[in-house]
Structure 1
Amino acid sequence: MKIIVPMAGRGSRLRPHTLTVPKPLIPIAGKPIVHRLVEDIAAVLNREIDEIAFIIHKDFGSKVAEDLIAIAEKLGSKGTIYYQEEPLGTAHAILSAKESMSGPVVVAYADTLFRADFTLDTSADSVIWVQEVENPSAFGVVKLNDKNEITDFVEKPKEYVSNLAIIGIYYFKSGETLRNELQYLIDNNVVKGGEYQLTDALENMKQKGMKFVPGKVEHWMDCGNKNVTVETNSRMLAFLEQDGENMVSEEAELHNSTIIPPCYIGKGAVIKNSTIGPNVSIGAATTVEDSTIKNSLVQSHSVITNAVLDNAMIGNHAVFNGEFTAVSIGDYSVLE
């Protein structure tokens, strides 16, 4: 089994945090989004992951490529890096990893997290991860028949056809078939809005009689902008607490402070005269002093003093000292 992760986009809605770090490497509960994503996919698949192919932009730099390969290796997989030079659509992005498209593959966009408990239907040609949503008109949705097979893909329906939204994770029994269908779009210039779309390839595959079934998830968490990323961090902390995971590093220093769970406190963090939590992540080697922080995400090597924070997101190597509350501070920023 292989996992292909298109992640060449810059994540402009999460700026300033994505000016220096690609969105999939933003940590959620102490671990990069993309790391949690591939871990969760591996758990659902319940089979060995031979390779994880990451599709990035060359502007991300060599350090990002090294970090991604390390993530794959932590899962016992081979890490491969591909580059998408131009933003020409979802189909174009995925096809950038065509050399890795052999055998069963999962394609997963690295801006979403999920919690699910279902058995993968390996008899199907494809499984598309979906979740029930209250407002289907804001999403691409699938329509099912009485055999629980997908009969239609509908993009942002104006009238109700289904409440099963596509969350951006797909299983294909044959990577070779997916590659050929994507290549057909490129070779024949099949575009919508100037881009090559995965949904066109899915429709072509369905028309050829391939069987598509849904994989339903219980929880779908977005990381599109600051507010939803902070919310996703809170939800992930709650899930990890339910799982019994210890999220306070033994190498963190706590002095005259109260930790209200769930919280993640990273290695080498120093907390003094402060109240942290609930729903807070504090990255490695960050210092917090004389502060109260809840419902917030603070990354690594930052210094927070005299703060009262709620619904805040603070980047790496930042310095914050003040009376601000709902802040969004990028890497290397200083507010004092």
Structure 2
Amino acid sequence: MRLIVPMGGRGTRLRPFSHTTPKPLLPLLGRPAIVHILDAFAGALGRPVDEAVFVLGPDAASGVRDALAAACDAHGLRAAFAVQPEPLGTAHAIACAGDAMDGEILTCWADTLFTPDRGAAPLASGDVDLVAWTVHVDDPRRFGVVARDENGRIVRLIEKPTTAEWTETLIGAYYVREGAALRTAVDDMLASGATGAGGEFQLTDAYDRLVQNGARMATAPAARWLDTGTLASYRQTVRALLDAGEHETAASGARGESVIVAPSYVHPDADVRRSVIGPYAVVEAGAVIRDAVVRDSVVMREAIVRHSALSGALLGDRASASGANGALVLGDDSEVHADG
């Protein structure tokens, strides 16, 4: 079973981090985002994903493929790559995966994280052709929705509806029993120029074609829907994961002459001394914190914070801050030394 992840966009809403770190590799409490996505699908389907196919843009940063491959390899997963030569829409991005669309496939946006409903049994995927994970949103007009008839039967999938008549909202995570059918639908759209919302080829429209062609479709409830597509939503996702306590987090207490205030996460390989960490702080692997207060902030891998009081801050990999205060945002390898 393959997971296809379209990520050909420029990630402008997540700059400066997207300049160097692809969304699936953003650290989330000690694990890259892609692993959270894989875990969600494995839990919902009762079996693991075998391969991840990343659809990159033509100007993907140097080393992105190696980094993604290494992350997948560390979790026993094969990685493959395709290129979307120009941004013509989400359906076009999936089509660029080519032969990787054959067989059972999953599709999910690179910045989507979800938790399947733990009360539901693993999906009996042989009984349906298409599954979409959904949540209910009071006003879903910015998203895609599932439209049902008076008997509850799925009759349409609509991208960015003009009304809020239907509130069962698509989160961008799907299972397809036979990807060749989706491939045919997308190829037909591209050949006929059937663009949708925003003048682009929309994946929701391709899935709607499957429904119109008689595909047996079901929806599955997502207990939680998060994303990492913007700096604000990344910060909100970190807070939600800390609140949920689903991952190993540091309990309140002392460490290296420091105080850790829950909920917070301090990676075992971080070096924290004479500091106050938390609440809602994340300190990733290899980070160094000295004589500092770090609250409601994320300090990414191998970053250094000294003599600072940070609140609402985001520090990228290997960033360095000294004598800094407040809601500092530093991209990877950036430095601020306010104390000279």
Normalised by the length of structure 2, the TM-score is 0.90
SS where residue 49 of structure 1 aligns?
A: coil
Shift of residue 128, structure 1, vs aligned partner: 0.9
Residue 72 of structure 1 is matched in structure 2 by: 72
Determine which of 221, 225, 233 is the counterpart of 2:226.
221
Q: How does 1:93-132 map to 2 (within 5 A)?
A: 93-117=93-117, 118=120, 119-122=122-125, 123-132=127-136
Counterpart CA distance in 2 for 1:149 and 1:105 is 24
Counterpart CA distance in 2 for 1:110 and 1:188 is 28
Distance 1:172 1:149, change over 3 A: farther
Extract unaligned runs of 5+ from structure 2: none
Distance 1:62 1:330, change over 3 A: closer
Q: How does 1:179-328 map to 2 (within 5 A)?
A: 179-192=183-196, 193-239=198-244, 241=245, 243=246, 245-247=247-249, 254-328=255-329
Counterpart CA distance in 1 for 2:154 and 2:39 is 26
Q: For residue 303 of structure 2, what is the amino acid of its counterpart? A: S
Shift of residue 258, structure 1, vs aligned partner: 0.8
Shift of residue 70, structure 1, vs aligned partner: 2.9
Determine which of 151, 155, 162 is the counterpart of 2:155.
151
SS where residue 325 of structure 2 aligns?
A: coil
1:104–1:174 CA contact under 8 A, matched in 2: yes
Determine which of 168, 171, 176 is the counterpart of 1:172.
176
Counterpart CA distance in 2 for 1:331 and 1:73 is 23
Counterpart CA distance in 2 for 1:213 and 1:334 is 50
Shift of residue 130, structure 1, vs aligned partner: 0.8
Q: For residue 123 of structure 2, what is the amino acid of its counterpart? A: L
Deviations 1:36-65 (A, max 9, x none): 112221221112423221111243346321
2:9 is aligned with 1:20: no
Distance 1:284 1:195, change over 3 A: same
Shift of residue 147, structure 1, vs aligned partner: 5.7
Counterpart CA distance in 1 for 2:326 and 2:272 is 19
Shift of residue 75, structure 1, vs aligned partner: 3.8
Deviations 1:145-186 (A, max 9, x none): 466542222333343212222111111111111111111112
Identity %: 33
Q: For residue 166 of structure 1, what is the amino acid of its counterpart? A: L
Normalised by the length of structure 1, the TM-score is 0.91
1:95–1:182 CA contact under 8 A, matched in 2: yes
SS where residue 258 of structure 1 aligns?
A: strand
Deviations 1:16-37 (A, max 9, x none): 1111212222111122212211
2:274–2:291 CA contact under 8 A, matched in 1: yes
Residue 140 of structure 2 is matched in structure 1 by: 136
Q: For residue 130 of structure 1, what is the amino acid of its counterpart? A: T
Shift of residue 256, structure 1, vs aligned partner: 0.8
1:309–1:326 CA contact under 8 A, matched in 2: yes
The aligned length equals 330
Counterpart CA distance in 2 for 1:84 and 1:111 is 17
1:13–1:224 CA contact under 8 A, matched in 2: yes
1:149–1:214 CA contact under 8 A, matched in 2: no
SS where residue 110 of structure 1 aligns?
A: coil
2:89 is aligned with 1:84: no
Distance 1:296 1:99, change over 3 A: same
Shift of residue 332, structure 1, vs aligned partner: 1.6
Extract unaligned runs of 5+ from structure 1: none
SS where residue 208 of structure 2 aligns?
A: helix
Please give the root-mean-square deviation of Cα atoms over the aligned residues, in Å.
2.2
Counterpart CA distance in 1 for 2:194 and 2:143 is 22
2:57–2:84 CA contact under 8 A, matched in 1: yes
Counterpart CA distance in 1 for 2:97 and 2:178 is 14
